[in-house]
Amino acid sequence: DTDTGAGSHDPTSLRTPIVAVLGHVDHGKTSLLDKIRGSAVIEGEAGAITQHIGATAVPLDVVSSIAGDLVNPDDFDLPGLLFIDTPGHHSFTTLRSRGGALADIAILVVDVNDGFQPQTLEALDILKRSQTPFIVAANKIDTVPGWNANEDSPINATYEAQSDRVSSRLDESLYEIIGNLSDEDFSADLYWRVQNFQRNVGVVPVSAMTGEGVPDLLAVMMGLSQRYMKEEMEIDVQGPGVGTVLEVKEEKGFGTTIDIVLYDGTIKADDQIVVGGMNQPIVTDVRALLQPRPLAEIRTESRFEKVDEISAASGIKVAAPELADAMAGAPVRVVRNRELDEVVDEVEAELADIAVDTEEQG
């Protein structure tokens, strides 16, 4: 037995679940992410890093301060939620991890007035095929005529502040969405009636505009992850990092860089990595790991600051030579203490999987 270290040092730890947002165009995916990001910045302590590259981290204590009574941090040992910043189907299907979707969990956004639309159905189909657990955010509840808005309020409290006419009007729209889900073979209900989120899809009424229901949305995501996904979140956090390329980008002063989402292990600023390329795996050495610099400091310096290492789950920019042929959606693996050939083989196998899937989807 060679002592390659895998599993022989640090104990496993729990990583953040990765969350994707899907839904029909204009139903509010971007607005919802903006709202969550905005609330996280307000509730987060000064200096807490919420902005990753290509993703937004909402740590458990921030989830809890946004969600108030709905989330008691003592009930959780998952560290929070990591939202992928690029919503939409293309990004969801491109971003994969070994054998499945990169996202562990998804939010399907449906406009309460507009209801199910072609891309809603498409999203359901994608979620079904990838077997990704999801909840439905029934968005734009503030547009129900006569709505009395209560900024950032949990849904229960804002429901009570509506007239009977207004709340029954919302109920009608919500039940229509529940009916549409059932037509697609998803048994669904309002989230507070759902006992088992593995069997039933929870529908959460929200407004990305006023923030109403956002506490509930975060609480449900957190609860669902904690209850049903804990085992999948167990990683060897000190192990060699594994991730997926979000984007390949030219960056002034750094040349071609890759933005990656790391879903396992750690990547260090002096690691050798293997990246999926257009023709073959690229073997290269990390030159710098870059995070966005806090807003206050941006004026004087580069947009990025260098970090020595980062662990999953996180979004990070990697500067390294030879990245011109790297592809969005391709795997990235840290070599560290392992045979290079083995790691290259792993990346090749993953690339072959991606090619097959792309053909199947036409």
Question: Under the criterion CB under 6 A, does residue 209 sit at the interface with ligand GDP?
Answer: yes
Task: CB nearer to ligand GDP: give 55 or 78.
Answer: 55
Output the six-digit token pair for 215: 């506490």
User: Rule CB under 6 A: is residue 336 a binding residue for ligand GDP?
Assistant: no
> Is 152 near ligand GDP (CB under 6 A)?
no
Site size for ligand GDP, by CB under 6 A?
16
Q: Which residue lies nearer to ligand GDP by CB, 36 or 330?
A: 36
The nearer residue to ligand GDP, 211 or 223, going by C-beta atoms, is 211
Burial of 84 (0-12, 13-18, 19+ CB in 10 A): buried
Site string for ligand GDP, 74-113 (x = CB under 6 A): -------------x--------------------------
The one-character DSSP state at 272 is: E
Q: Is residue 31 close enough to count as binding ligand GDP by CB under 6 A?
A: yes
Helical H runs in the chain? 29-43, 60-67, 89-94, 118-130, 155-160, 164-183, 214-228, 340-360
Q: Which is nearer to ligand GDP, 91 or 226 (CB)?
A: 91
Handedness of CA 20, 170, 140, 26 (dihedral sign): positive
CA 307 to chain centre: 22
Please check whether residue 290 is in contact with residue 316, taking contact to mean a CB–CB distance below 8 angstroms: yes
Cα–Cα dist 167/174, whole Å: 10
Among 29, 52, 96, 333, binds ligand GDP (CB under 6 A): 29
Q: How many Å apart are CA 68 and CA 359, to the nearest integer? A: 46
Is position 25 an interface residue for ligand GDP (rule: CB under 6 A)? yes
Give the range of 2-10, 27-35, 130-138, 146-154 binding ligand GDP by CB under 6 A: 27-35
One of 85, 104, 142, 350 touching ligand GDP (CB under 6 A): 142
Determine, following the binding rule CB under 6 A, whether residue 353 of this chain makes contact with ligand GDP: no
**What is the longest distance spanned by two Cα atoms in the chain?**
71
Least distance CB 220 / ligand GDP (angstroms) = 17
What is the Rg, in whole angstroms, of the alpha carbon atoms belonging to the chain?
21
Displacement of CA 174 from its chain's centroid (Å) = 25
Task: Assess 333 for contact with ligand GDP (CB under 6 A).
Answer: no
Measured CA to CA, the distance from residue 171 to residue 205 in angstroms comes to 10
**Considering the rule CB under 6 A, would residue 23 count as an interface residue with ligand GDP?**
yes
Residues in contact with ligand GDP by CB under 6 A are: 23, 25-31, 87, 139-140, 142-143, 207-209
